[in-house]
Amino acid sequence: MNASEGMRLINLDEDGVDRAFRQDVLAGLKQVPKAIPARWLYDDAGSQLFEEITQLPEYYPTRAETDILKTRGGEFAELIGPGRAVVEFGSGSSVKTPLLLSAIAPAAYVPLDISGDFLRASSAELAAKFPGLPVYPVEADFMRKVALPDAVSDMPKLGFFPGSTIGNMVARTAVDLLRTVRETLGEGSKLLIGMDLIKDPDVLIAAYDDAAGVTAEFNYNLVRRINRELDGDIPLEFLRHEARWNDDFARIEMHLVAQKDISFSVSGQPFALAQGESLHTENSHKFSRRTGNTLLLAGGWTPTHRWLDSKERFSLVLADASIPRSAP
pLDDT tens per residue across span 92-145: 677 899 999 999 999 999 999 887 788 888 899 999 999 999 999 999 889 899
Domain membership of residue 95 (yes or no) is yes
Nearest-5° Cα angle at 23, 11 to 253: 115
Peptide bond into 37 cis (omega under 30): no
On whether the CB atoms of residues 142 and 5 are closer than 8 A, the answer is no
Task: Note whether 303 and 267 are same-domain residues.
Answer: no
Please compute the mean of the pLDDT values over residues 290-299 and round it to a whole number.
97
Task: Note whether 300 and 277 are same-domain residues.
Answer: no
Task: Note whether 149 and 225 are same-domain residues.
Answer: no
Q: Count Cα neighbours of 5 within 13 Å in the Cβ-side half-sphere.
A: 4
Task: Note whether 171 and 304 are same-domain residues.
Answer: yes
Please compute the mean of the pLDDT values over residues 61-65 and round it to a whole number.
95
Q: Is the pLDDT of residue 6 over 70?
A: no
Rounded to an integer, what distance in angstroms lies between the CA atom of residue 107 and that of residue 89?
17
Q: How far apart are the first and last CA of the chain?
A: 44
DSSP 8-state symbol, 107: S
Which domain range does residue 108 map to? 61-197+287-321
pTM, entire model: 0.90
Please report which confidence band the pLDDT of residue 8 belongs to, taking 50, 70 and 90 as the band edges.
low
Domain membership of residue 8 (yes or no) is no
Question: Edge-to-edge strand order for the sheet containing 190-196?
Answer: 7-8, 138-139, 108-113, 85-89, 157-161, 190-196, 314-321, 301-308
Helix segments in the chain, DSSP class H = 19-30, 44-53, 61-71, 73-80, 96-104, 116-129, 171-185, 201-207, 214-229, 289-298
